[in-house]
Amino acid sequence: MAKARIGLIGLGVMGANLALNIAEKGFPVAVHNRTTPAIDAFIAGAGDLADRLVAAPTPAALAAALAPPRAIILMVKAGAPVDATIAALRPHLEPGDIIIDAGNADFNDTRRREAALREAGLAFVGMGVSGGEEGARHGPSIMVGGTAQAFAPIAGIVEAIAACYNGASCAAHLGPDGAGHFVKTVHNGIEYADMQMIAEIYGLLRHAEGRPPARIAALFDEWNGGPLRSYLVEITAKVLAASDPETGLPMVDVIHDCAGQKGTGRWTVIEALRLGQSVPAIEAAVGARVWSAAKDLRLAGEAVLQGPDPTQAGAGLLDADLERALLAARVIGYGQGFSLLAAASGEFGWQLDLVRIAEIWRAGCIIRSALLDDIASAFADPPPGGSLILSLHFAQVLSGNTGALRRVVARAVQAGMPVPVLSAALAWYDTMRRARGTASLIQAQRDFFGAHGFERVDRDGGGYHGPWGG
């Protein structure tokens, strides 16, 4: 039998769809899964593509089905299962072989694995893949990290299976070791912020304005034809239009209001803080998921905590303001994500190309949106401090739309509706547009209680102290 071009381990939803995508693009794939019956079932269900799939019941069989240098994609659960899979594979590999982790790995793990395998003569590629089930099957956005030599033998396959935007592949080699997985993590952080700000706008329309989901669906659908055009706004319209076949109720009403999270949003925030950065819109979105899951506490809170009743207070909001508020907050969410990418790039020496990242996010991934073309253009002429919101284009977008964001946040606060991401985005914007803030008082307090010293505006150097003692 002819050798397969690439191997894949892990036939869960993402792995199975990625294997079919690769096979469809003409590359024979050897597939392995920890539970072997799943391999035969997968190939039996692959239809016309089955003859491009090779069953590999063991890691040894997988290695034997591939010609060196072997390239093997792992699509297994992040964390310990990745290490266990690598350990099972290693005895069957030879120097020059390439392991590609296509899961949502913590980039710190990717750096560790890459270094350890490189020492053993093996190549390791950390590959962020976005687009969910549909993307994996028909074209995801792919963010690659690893050495250029490790990527070269698989570049043709990776570029062929990725989504296309205006004829260009939405796959790119972005930097060494953990660069690809870091970019994917930040992608997910932006995803969290975007999803939460959409949910906050929905909440205002639903609970303060009292609109039924079907009408809100129509509004999101309309917005999807304008500057908010994006996958997340598009699916929000579809979700809100859906009814539960069993009860006939709006589907959104029969779903528990406790959000799950697998960790990438939280990692974005943790890594931002480690880098001495802050991404408040993303932080607020992670926090909102945490509090959504604290159902018992919120039930207890509803019984005792007083405040305005949104159904009585009404928000009195204009649809156009909500659309503009969402646009402004979305720009801010992206802006924070890209600033974090720039900070990590400096810290780890990755030389991330922000233009390229914006370009490969234009199709295939969950945060694809009409804004990404403009973001790519904005970074082509680097804005002051590499900050998206300071680019000429987005400074204008924000000047034109933050008035609406301000009105929406103000009305939400008055109506007693929580809008953590919208308000965090606005607070950050207001922070960034004031050259002189209030930290002189923080410095004075630090000096007062800890003699930490401060710098004066009228002299050079630091180490000054205030007249606190007497």
Active site residues: 184, 191
Residue 4's SS3 state is strand
Query: Per rule CB under 6 A, is residue 191 in the interface with ligand 6PG?
Result: yes
Residue 191 Cβ vs ligand 6PG, minimum distance, rounded to whole Å: 5
According to the binding rule CB under 6 A, does residue 257 interact with ligand 6PG? no
Beta strands in 304-357 (DSSP E): none
| Residue from 366, 378, 395, 412 binding ligand 6PG (CB under 6 A) | 366
30 vs 171, beta carbon nearer ligand 6PG: 171
Please state, as a whole number, how many other Cβ atoms lie within 10 Å of the Cβ of residue 109.
18
Q: Give 108 or 261: the residue with its C-beta nearer to ligand 6PG.
A: 261
Give, as one character, the DSSP assignment of residue 383. P
Candidates 202-210, 244-252, 259-267, 301-309: pick the segment binding ligand 6PG (CB under 6 A). Answer: 259-267
Q: Which residues pair with 164 in a beta bridge?
A: 169
Of residues 111-130, those binding ligand 6PG (CB under 6 A): 130
Q: What is the rounded CA–CA span in Å between residue 120 and residue 98? A: 12
CB of 23 to ligand 6PG, least distance (A): 21
The one segment of 89-97, 254-262, 385-393, 443-451 that binds ligand 6PG by CB under 6 A:
254-262
Total chain residues near ligand 6PG (CB under 6 A): 13
Please identify, using beta-carbon distances, which residue of 261 and 443 lies nearer to ligand 6PG: 261
How many contiguous H segments (helices) and E segments (strands) does the chain have?
20, 10
How far is residue 126's CA from residue 186's CA, in Å, rounded to a whole number? 14
Minimum distance of ligand 6PG from residue 4's CB (angstroms): 26
- Among 225, 245, 260, 463, which residue interacts with ligand 6PG (rule: CB under 6 A)? 260
330 closest CA partner among 215, 223, 467, 181: 223
For 375, counting Cβ atoms within 10 Å of its Cβ (0-12 exposed, 13-18 middle, 19+ buried), the class is buried
In angstroms, rounded to a whole number, what is the distance separating the alpha carbons of residues 186 and 338? 8
Tell the smallest beta-carbon distance from residue 283 to ligand 6PG (Å). 15
CB of 309 vs ligand 6PG, minimal distance in Å? 31
Handedness of CA 172, 174, 177, 178 (dihedral sign): negative
Query: What's 454's DSSP letter?
Result: B
Which residue lies nearer to ligand 6PG by CB, 135 or 146? 135
In this structure, what is the dihedral angle of CA atoms 135, 139, 142, 148, given to the nearest 10 degrees? 150
The single-letter code of the amino acid at 360 is I
Using the minimum distance from each CB to ligand 6PG, give the nearer residue, 164 or 259.
Answer: 259
Q: Residues 428-458, buried b or exposed e (16+ Cβ, 10 A)?
A: bbeebeeeeeeeeeebeeebeeeeeebeeee
Q: Pick the closer one to ligand 6PG by CB: 133 or 455.
A: 133
Q: Find the radius of gyration of the CA atoms of the chain.
A: 25
Structure tokens at 262: 């697998």
Closer Cβ to ligand 6PG, 188 or 423, answer by number: 188
- Smallest distance, ligand 6PG to C-beta of residue 74, A: 15
Among 85, 188, 345, 402, binds ligand 6PG (CB under 6 A): 188
Q: Per DSSP, what are the bridge partners of residue 395?
A: none
d(CA 16, CA 13): 5
Of 122, 256, 124, 238, which Cα lies nearest the Cα of 181?
124
Q: Is 365 in the site for ligand 6PG (CB under 6 A)?
A: yes
Could you tell me the two tokens for 166? Answer: 């205006």
Report whether 232 contacts 201 (CB < 8 A). Answer: no
According to DSSP, the β-strands at 6-9 and 71-74 are parallel
**196 is an interface residue for ligand 6PG by CB under 6 A:** no
Considering the complex, what minimum distance in angstroms separates the CB of residue 266 from ligand 6PG? 8
Applying CB under 6 A, the span of 260-268, 269-277, 309-317, 421-429 interacting with ligand 6PG comes to 260-268
**Position of minimal CB gap to ligand 6PG:** 130
Residues 76-115 within binding reach of ligand 6PG (CB under 6 A): 104
What residues from 126 to 165 belong to the interface with ligand 6PG (CB under 6 A)?
130-132
CB of 104 to ligand 6PG, least distance (A): 5
Buried b or exposed e, range 155-182, using 16+ CB within 10 angstroms: eebbbbbbbebeeebbbbbbbbbbbbbb
| Contact flag: residue 268 with ligand 6PG (CB under 6 A) | no
Give me the residues that bind ligand 6PG (CB under 6 A), please: 104, 130-132, 188, 191, 260-262, 264-265, 365-366
